[in-house]
Amino acid sequence: MARIAQNRQSVVILKSLQQLHTFGLPAHCTDFVRIQSVHSAHTFIAQHLEQPFYLLGQGSNTAFVADYQGTVAEVALKGIDVQENDSHYIIKAAAGESWHELVVYCLKHTMYGFENLALIPGTVGAAPIQNIGAYGVEVERFIQSVQYIDLKTNQVHSIAAKDCEFGYRDSIFKHALWQKAMIVGVTFLLPKAWQPVVTYGELAALHAPSAQDIFNKVVEVRQAKLPDPNVLGNAGSFFKNPIISCETLAALHQQFPSMPFYPLDAEAVKIPAAWLIDQLGFKGQFEGGIRCHPKQALVLTNAEQGTGEQLLSLARRIKNAVAEQFSIDLEHEVQLIGANGKVLL
């Protein structure tokens, strides 16, 4: 629903963002544009060089916590092209394609590797930004290159995976290229010599699974653990799992001997953020209409027509409580967008 804003000079019709991000918060923007081709992308950029705008995919990792003072542009380019060589399938997918639908497409056409990443919401274009990952696999292992338009020069570039600065839920697109690049496509390499990855969680119980078996189990587990954003507004895991040194872990284990961890290398481990939050009793807690999910502490939900301010308030309470109790700094995984762009807790 649109909203009317008045000032001394004019009346402005604000466009609702509530249906454009999975949190479903009652935010608006000055204007909204859907980009469905590279040509229209170039046109949009040329017209908005000196104006504020925010690029959006399916809004599954974004929460608009206030009315955005600019144009929101949904990148909705479509298309999948598949080639192959002796060792790999080469898959070129447009940025607006649904990530999960790409996983299903590849599985249907006997191209395996993405199955651990099934049911992750969002678009293909968002996948490298977030370096999406689940069940022991991160998307970076399959990316050959990312195609994007430079928002200053309006020129198309291709950046190789080795230059994307991929990290845990991180990439160059969150830093040096944040709001400086419009991703229009991603090129993936799926090896023909497929090897299952079943070292994580519930997948470890599978015996000699096929790619379809892994896909089915991932979908089953995700549906059981995580609320459907189409039913209950949320953006999946709100916080990243913190990475700490083994030395810090040893000190924490003296006070919290049951603290779980996952080794990363000889010097660092990953701590489940959900465990930290759960220990502090946040499961089920409300801040206005925003709730920490009673079944999964890592997920914050729009349970009762919550607002952006309430979301920020609950998230800050959790972050501050974890820092005070465990001396661990939680980082939010969800992009929080306020009136003038990115908001930090």
Q: Which residues are catalytic?
A: 169, 237, 333
Q: In terms of Cα–Cα distance, which of 319, 340, 316, 336 is closest to 328? A: 319
Q: Are 63 and 311 in contact (CB under 8 A)?
A: yes
Q: The tokens of 268 are what?
A: 């660092």
CB neighbourhood size of 148 (10 A): 24
Q: In this structure, what are the phi and psi dihedrals at residue 68, rounded to the nearest 5 degrees?
A: -85, 125
Tell me the pairing of strands 335-338 and 62-64.
Answer: parallel
How many Cα neighbours within 13 Å face the side chain of 274? 13
Please say whether the beta carbons of 227 and 303 come within 8 A. Answer: no
Report the first-to-last Cα separation within the chain, whole angstroms: 28
